[in-house]
Structure 1
Amino acid sequence: MIYTDMKSNFMKTIFGVFAVLLVISSCKRDDIMVKSTDGTAPALTASANTLVLSSDNAASEAVAFNFNKASYGYSAAVLYTLQLDKEGNNFAAPKEYTIDASANTQKLTVGDLNNSLALMGYAAGRASGLEARIKSELRAGVGTLYSNVLKLTVTTYSVIIAYPSLYVPGAYQGWTPATAAKVASVADNGKYEGYVDFTAATDFNFKYTADTEWKLQYGWASSSNTGTTAEGTFAAGASGNLFVPSAGYYLLKADTKANTWNATKTTFGVVGDATPNGWDKDTNMTYDPATKQWKVTVNLTAGKIKFRANGAWVIQYGNKKTNPTNFLEFEGADIPVTVAGNYTIILDLSNPGNYMYSLNKN
């Protein structure tokens, strides 16, 4: 009786172990089949390798990327993605285009490609290296194969980029989000900034809203202010209004992750060794509400200039390092003046994230 029970238990154990091994073996086989990167990767070609883009033909085709399909040794549904990245970046942060499963080409218009490269930090008017490849996958991250890498040379043009933004409706413009000024998040990180003209306002209340229908709005939660600044916190859906302390031209900031906001009243001037007052004192500019621009006409010598607010270096702008063709960035590079003469200088801060200037020799 005891021997029989021992034998029975032993056989049950053997069968149990065998069943477990079968399951493990089956899982391993499935895993090998799914995760295998064995196969033939796509081969990629392009209709052109040197591209000079122009806004005059933004709707025209810039380039067509053609490829043959990957082969995994069996019939499978394959996902294809075109990847673009800066030369030498090893596709660390590529711009990706999902390709229709039935297609073996991806065409890009001049405008689409130019916008993508602008967001990637390509400098306008400068020939720069671009790399392209095709990624094939059985599903995301599984069975990944990469094509050969194509090297292209692309020259882009200046473009106004539509960054993620919030509307700033208020009493100054009739509380209409669709026609309100905006603040933008250049890094798309929930931190927004932009300039708003309250120079003609008598009611200084405003709000932030993510859309034109007031579906998501940010209202007052707390605040403190001086004669030229205001700051505090806001809350989504709150009924109270935010405000600036007095009439003027304001730099507005909003952080939708920290739920904070602030406003700084500004006037602008030009400073630098090319100006009559050098680096120590501003040549003041005048704001024109009709054009939404700051202007000054002044005699300049060969040298360098920058723009700054309120006669201090807290808010200052210079040439955008990655795109120096008349675009500005905070604490940017000195702006060169190569020829002495009488100039009309224009500073345009009306398009958040796309601050611009011009030096017009009279």
Structure 2
Amino acid sequence: MKNIFKTFLALFLAINLTSCEDESNLAYVNEAGDFNITSPVTGSSVVLTPDYPTNPALTLTWQAANFGTPTAIDYTVQVSLSGSNFADVTDITSTNNTFAAITVDELNGAAVAAGLIPYTEGGLDIRIKATIGTNAEMTKYSNTITYLVTPYTTELPKLAVPGNHQGWTPGTAPRIAASGFGQTDYEGYMWLDGGHKFVGPDASGNYNWGNTDWGDDGSFSGVLAETGESDCTAPAGYYRVQANTTALTYTETLTNWGIVGAATPGGWTSSTALTYNPSTKKWEGTIALTAGEFKFRANDAWTINLGGDSDSDGSMNYDGPNLSIATSGTYFVTLDLSNPRAYTYSIQ
């Protein structure tokens, strides 16, 4: 009989161990509290997008807390990274009601601040904090639920470019930006003057020496190497800087910008030069223009040119549609390339 019992015990343990191995790494919680959240339930989920930031992403309802006497109660919705036991808490909203609607923008900000990875589902632990009185006496907490959130980011990944042009300080260095989240095709415009490197952010988004950095592999043929490499170098000038940390390549193209088109003195044949202003970090010029179309281009050629923002992403597009001016006159023209992948112009 003992042998039969041992056999069944071993089988039971084997089944349960196998079951545990198949479980998701994300642990759901539904811890007890002084009062309960009634909706949503643990395991509910949402995928957030930036298209409708003010739409509700999470609607919470809960029981009233009982302090033993009729009194106004202040409720605060608190979230934290799942499994962290609220070691780092974010207060999303406060109310005297027993319900709250959290917008897409609010929940996304809280999720990213808690440490959830954009475009990847992760868990947020949610609880309601109840207090009374002006000094928040007699704190009570609801039960805790786990809400599964897929956040987003509108921030493009960036690298800092510290060097001789700005004192070798990563925190204040100009940036280059990738084309999208998860991409490594960085681009931006800046003044360079000698040696420089590329520095990535740390987990908190800070740029410091000691983070991952890249430089030339020593061949000075446009090949990047990570950590312990040679400085990249460029003669003084204004450059379009491109770097790909996956392909380990970089290109730095010297540029001088101007305006070209039917509205300009040189027509579509010859660019009218703009002058780089290091104080404003913009290309500027006072130019007599006639009513008509125009574009911006580098080096009096069509290899690099910028037109209208046809995809409405807040940046002028390469080879974009012609721009236009309605009334002839003398104008102050500026081209601002200082914000990577957010290129703008003004004509006044």
TM-score by length of 1: 0.56
Helix, strand or coil for the counterpart of 1:296?
strand
Letter in 2 for 1:336: S
State the partner residue of 2:170: 177
Q: Deviations over 1:222-252 (max 9, x none)?
A: 445xxxxxx51111113311111x2111111
Q: CA deviation at 1:257?
A: 0.7
Q: CA deviation at 1:101?
A: 9.8
The match for 2:257 among 268, 277, 284 is 268
Classify 1:208/1:324 alpha carbon distance in 2 versus 1 (closer, same or farther; 3 Å). closer
Matched with 1:78 is 43
Does residue 187 of structure 2 align to residue 190 of structure 1?
no
Instruction: Indicate yes or no: 2:320 matched with 1:355.
Output: no
| Alignment deviations for residues 284-319 of structure 1 (CA, whole Å, 9 cap, x no partner) | 111111111111111111111110000111111111
Counterpart of 1:291 in structure 2 is 280
Structure 1 residues 251, 96: closer, same or farther in 2, change over 3 A?
Answer: farther
For 2:336, the aligned partner's letter is D
Q: Which residue of 2 aligns with 1:340?
A: 328
1:308 and 2:297 aligned: yes
Q: Distance in 2 between matches of 1:206 and 1:86?
A: 38
Instruction: Describe how 1:75-224 pairs up with structure 2 within 5 A.
Output: 77-81=42-46, 83-84=48-49, 105-107=101-103, 162-188=155-181, 189-198=183-192, 201=193, 204-211=194-201, 212-214=207-209, 215-224=211-220
Contact 1:270 1:284 in 2 (8 A): yes
> What secondary structure does 2:335 align onto?
strand
User: Distance between the aligned counterparts of 2:187 and 2:56, measured in 1?
Assistant: 28
Q: Which amino acid aligns with 1:320?
A: D
How big is the shift at 1:344? 0.8
1:162 to partner: Cα distance: 4.4
CA distance in 2, matches of 1:293, 1:182: 15
Identical-pair percentage:
33
Change in Cα spacing, 1:164 to 1:99, as seen in structure 2 (3 Å) is: farther
Once the two structures are TM-superposed, the CA of residue 78 in structure 1 deviates from its matched residue by 3.0
Letter paired with 2:233:
F
Q: How far, CA to CA, are the matches of 2:292 and 2:186 in structure 1? A: 33
Paired AA for residue 177 in structure 2: A
Deviation at 1:341, TM superposition (A): 1.2
Residues 99 and 217 (structure 1 numbering): CA distance in 2 closer, same or farther, change over 3 Å?
A: farther
**Per the alignment, in what secondary structure is the counterpart of residue 247 of structure 1?**
strand
Give the TM-score, by structure 2 length: 0.58
Cα distance in 2 for partners of 1:100, 1:265 equals 55
Aligned residues of 2:158 and 2:177 also touching (Cα < 8 A): yes
Superposed CA offset, 1:165-188 (max 9, x none): 100011121111011111111323
Aligned residue number for residue 237 of structure 1: 227
**Over aligned residue pairs, what C-alpha RMSD do you find?**
3.8
- Paired residue for 1:257, among 246, 263, 270? 246
Deviation of 1:213 (Å): 2.0
Corresponding pairs, count: 233
Decide whether the 8 Å contact of 1:249 with 1:265 is kept in 2: yes
Is the partner of 1:178 in helix, strand or coil? helix
Measured at CA, do residues 348 and 328 of structure 1 come closer, stay the same or move farther in structure 2, by a change above 3 Å?
same
Q: Does structure 2 conserve the Cα–Cα contact (< 8 Å) formed by 1:79 and 1:101?
A: no
* Native 8 Å contact 2:48 2:57 kept in 1: yes
Q: Is the 8 A contact 2:57 2:103 kept in 1?
A: no
Partner of 1:29: none
Distance 1:274 1:256, change over 3 A: same
The DSSP-based 3-state class of the residue aligned with 1:175 is coil
Q: Deviations over 1:174-204 (max 9, x none)?
A: 1110111111113231000111213xx3xx1
Aligned with 2:171: secondary structure?
Answer: helix
Query: Whole-Å Cα distance in 1 between the matches of residues 56 and 48 of structure 2?
Result: 5
Structure 1 residues 49-91: Cα deviation after superposition (integer angstroms, max 9, x where no partner): xxxxxxxxxxxxxxxxxxx957xxxxx633231544769xxxx
Is contact 1:69–1:104 with CA below 8 Å preserved after alignment? no
Query: What is residue 27 of structure 1 aligned with on the other side?
Result: none
Q: How far did 1:323 drift?
A: 2.6
The amino acid of 2:341's aligned partner reads: G
Gaps (5+ residues) in structure 2? 1-37, 63-98, 110-145, 149-153, 202-206
